[in-house]
Each structure stands twice: as C-alpha cells, then as structure tokens.
C-alpha cells in the first residue's frame, strides 16, 4: 500500500515538475530530430515522435491530462453516487425499491458504447468527456452508499437529529454523508483507475483528447502506429499507464481490505 502510494506520488510530482525542468515544450516540432530514440542529447529522455516533438514533455502532459480527467470524472461520479445512494437509503421503502431497480437496469446497459455515441453526436468536447465518464461510474458508489446509509439511519444520532426537527436533506448531507467518508474514499480510489481506463480507451480510438493536446491513451495510439521503427513511442507511455493503473488498483484493494477489517471489529 505504501509502495503504491509512493509510486503514484512520484509520478504525479514528475508530471507536475518535469515539463518545467525540460528545455523542450510539448508543441515545438524539430525536423532535425525526428523519431530519435531516448537520449541525453537535446534532453530527449523519452525520445522524439515523428514530428520531432519531445516525448518526455508530451508524456508528462499526457499523465497530467489523464489524471485530471480521472479525478474530475471520479468527483462527478462521487457526487451523483453519494447523493443517489444516500437518498435511496435514507428515504427507504418504495422510493428505495424503485431507485435501486433503476440502478439495476442501468447496470445492464453497455455504457461505453453510449459514451462513444455521445462523442459522435456532440463534437469531442473536453468537458463532455469528464461528465460522460463520471456519469457511467456512479452505479457502484450508489449501491455501496445506500447499503451504508441503511444501517446509519437506524443510529441514535440520526434519531436525535430528526427529533430536534432537522430537515431531511440536512440530515442526509450534514449527518449521514460525513459518516460515509471512509468507504467513499476507498471506492473513489477504485473508481479513478476505471475512469483512466475509459479516457485512455476513447483517446486510443481517436475519440477522446484531440491533438495537439494529448493523454496517455492518445500517446499509446501514436506509439502503435510507429512501433515498427520506434518501439519507445509505444513502450514508454504503455508502461506508465500500466504502472499508474496497477498502483491505483493495489492501493484501492489494500484500503478496502483495511476498511473491511476495521468494519468487522
């Protein structure tokens, strides 16, 4: 767990600081240095692409974009999921049954295809990517939050709040929601890699982030096209993406085990 967190922190710092330290920028093309393999000359640590752009800076930029999309999308799914789950769990009864039935129905939908449809119908809009990815990832969160809320609402402090005349929305957001924090944090850690996966999938297909902006998925896509002469263009972004996803998954798993153990005591 500490190792995964350390790796993620290191990559994040590198992505923030790296471009400042490099003499190159992500847009600058250099036709004297096309498809250079990783080298110290010109500080092309990750080599250059077929337009002579420095891949170190582009990869760092790609990590920034990928992580940003993932975090914002996870926040979107967090807000939707927590609100939906807490309302269903707290109100209960028939409302709960209908709301959860709706979630079950949505589970059966192939969301990723809808996201692609969305990208086709409305131009590839950056904001839309955030919202679309967030909108497909809230289902798990809603289920888990509902389960927790069901047990929380029977607790004394909720009764006390109700007796002193606190309104239902206020009970949900001021009294129930803060108590969900632990499990929500765990599931956000598991939602982030899913969001990264969707974003890079879309960018890989050319439906996500558009040139000259880039993301890890877009870099992998560019690398695939050039892998026969310039394998570094594929291997570097691909392995970084894999390391980031793996770290998040390990971290999330460890946090969940920790939380489950604490919960059982």
Partner 1 sequence: MLRYALLRLLGAIPTLLLVIVLAFLMVHAAPGGPFDEERALPADVAAKIEAAYHLDETLPQQFMRYMSGLLQGDLGPSFRYRDYTVSELIGSGFPVSLRLGLLAILLALLVGVGSGTIAALRQGSLLDRVVMSFAMTGISIPVFVVGPVLVLLFAVKLHWLPAGWSGTESVWKYLLPVITLALPQIAYIARLTRASMIDVLSRDFIRTARAQGLGTKAIIRFHALKPAMLPVLSYMGPAIAAILTGSVVVEEVFGIPGLGQFFVRGALNRDYTLVLGIVIFYATLIIALNLIVDILYGVIDPRVRHR
Where does this chain bind partner 1 (CB under 8 A)? 105, 108-110, 112-114, 116-123, 193, 197, 200-201, 204-207, 217, 220-221, 223-224, 227-228, 231, 234-235, 238, 241-242, 245-246, 249-250, 253
Place of tokens 């980031």: 244
Residue closer to partner 1 (CB basis): 19 or 62: 62
Residue closer to partner 1 (CB basis): 66 or 83: 66
Q: For the CB of residue 10, give the shortest distance to partner 1 in the complex, in Å.
A: 17
Q: For the CB of residue 197, give the shortest distance to partner 1 in the complex, in Å.
A: 6
Q: For the CB of residue 108, give the shortest distance to partner 1 in the complex, in Å.
A: 5
Q: For the CB of residue 148, give the shortest distance to partner 1 in the complex, in Å.
A: 22
Residue closer to partner 1 (CB basis): 158 or 245: 245
């Amino acid at each position: 767990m500490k190792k995964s967190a350390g790796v993620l922190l290191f990559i994040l710092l590198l992505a923030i600081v790296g471009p400042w330290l490099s003499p190159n920028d992500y847009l600058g093309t250099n036709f004297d240095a096309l498809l250079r393999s990783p080298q110290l000359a010109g500080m092309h640590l990750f080599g250059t692409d077929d337009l002579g752009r420095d891949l170190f800076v582009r990869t760092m930029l790609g990590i920034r974009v990928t992580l940003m999309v993932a975090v914002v999308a996870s926040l979107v799914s967090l807000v939707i999921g927590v609100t939906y789950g807490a309302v269903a769990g707290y109100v209960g009864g028939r409302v709960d049954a209908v709301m959860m039935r709706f979630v079950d129905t949505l589970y059966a939908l192939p969301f990723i295809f809808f996201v692609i449809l969305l990208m086709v119908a409305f131009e590839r809009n950056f904001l839309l990517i955030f919202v679309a990815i967030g909108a497909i990832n809230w289902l798990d969160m809603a289920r888990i939050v509902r389960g927790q809320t069901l047990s929380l609402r029977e607790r004394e402090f909720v009764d006390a709040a109700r007796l002193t005349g606190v309104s239902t929305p206020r009970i949900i957001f001021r009294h129930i929601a803060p108590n969900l924090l632990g499990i929500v944090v765990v599931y956000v850690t598991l939602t982030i890699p899913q969001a990264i996966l969707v974003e890079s999938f879309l960018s890989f297909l050319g439906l996500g982030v558009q040139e000259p902006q880039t993301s890890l998925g877009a870099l992998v896509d560019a690398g695939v096209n050039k892998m026969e002469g310039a394998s570094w263009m594929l291997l570097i972004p691909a392995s970084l993406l894999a390391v980031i996803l793996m770290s998040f998954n390990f971290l999330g798993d460890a946090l969940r085990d920790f939380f489950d153990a604490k919960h059982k005591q």
